[in-house]
Structure 1
């Protein structure tokens, strides 16, 4: 006969895993993930390029190779990587390789940066499922790339939606409108 064993909080093992997503302006990529249980932290930054410790101005000029991204530390026992991928797809236009919404250029391209081979596998499966779903008329062009060094963005970019709600709302309106059209009630608020 089996018995349920109730564990004390002190007996629970908390794991920490890292997910890195690029989907246009990092200001718009924090809030959708920020409210989920199991998310320890979200940092806005730059990754995928060749310049060490780039500044916002350097990345915007387009010669560092970096893209704006968010690094999410999460507990996979509470919030799975697969669930993070679902949230990610509902925040981006995966058919636009040259930016997202009003943000144009290579530094705004959509990328899933995997940190483990298992993440790579899950991202590829997720991308294929989205492509086969018929949700989009165009092919899914979001790339899946190995994580490279991640450089934290300047402090004023961190938690921007909390620091400057009016400017955040204005900068995310095109994204929000488009996502509501595509995902309807299923989309998380941009």
Structure 2
């Protein structure tokens, strides 16, 4: 898990295209890979996962330098990217592959994730239950190359998809206004 004192963090937040940019712009982030985790088949393709029949989540796996950007800071950046109350997907992306989850790599990450989730619950920011899972990380299967850094490779398609998804409106209404 640790390479050159770097650590890994893995988050499911709906479509992985929208989960790269918020983390990519931070100091101490070494690399971000889009992929799949948690399913029942090995080496799934995007099309297989998109069908919703493999049990995988779309995820981003972040390699980071914890001396520059802590896991707790990653968590505080993760939560405002999602609707943690939606058990059936995120925004216009529906299906089990778009559920939210924090995949922990260490017991310390598990504990930090549980503390952060409890803080969201106690904040009473949302009237519905917080359904984001906290799950032990398993094998990451990388998405095809065209899905890596999609927001950089296809900026117009990325912006169009993000705009029609409703993600930004949700973030503005539910995270930005309520401190």
Report the TM range for the smaller structure's normalisation: over 0.9
Partner of 1:83: 73
TM-score between both structures, scaled by the size of structure 1: 0.89
TM-score between both structures, scaled by the size of structure 2: 0.94
Q: For residues 23-62 of structure 1, what are the structure 2 equivalents within 5 Å?
A: 23-62=13-52
**What root-mean-square deviation, in Å, do the aligned CA atoms of Structure 1 and Structure 2 show?**
1.3
- Out of 169, 172, 175, the position equivalent to 1:180 is 172
Provide runs of 4+ in structure 1 moved above 4 Å.
Answer: none
**Structure 1 residues 66-107: Cα deviation after superposition (integer angstroms, max 9, x where no partner):** 010000000111100000001000100000011000000000
Partner of 1:138: 128
User: Secondary structure of 1:90's partner?
Assistant: helix
Query: Please, which moves more after superposition, 138-147 or 14-23?
Result: 14-23
- For 2:9 and 2:171, how far apart are their aligned partners in 1? 22
Q: For residues 147-158 of structure 1, what are the structure 2 equivalents within 5 Å?
A: 147-158=137-148
Matching of residue 74 in structure 1 with residue 79 in structure 2: no
Contact 2:125 2:178 in 1 (8 A): no
- For 2:123 and 2:16, how far apart are their aligned partners in 1? 27
Larger Rg: 1
Partner of 2:112: 122
User: How far 1:122 moved relative to its partner?
Assistant: 0.3
The number of residues matched between the two structures is: 174
**Structure 1 unmatched runs, 5+:** 1-13
User: Secondary structure of 2:81's partner?
Assistant: coil
**Structure 2 unmatched runs, 5+:** none
User: How far 1:15 moved relative to its partner?
Assistant: 2.0
**Structure 1 residues 24-82: Cα deviation after superposition (integer angstroms, max 9, x where no partner):** 00000000000100000000000011111000111011221101000000011110000
User: How far 1:186 moved relative to its partner?
Assistant: 8.4
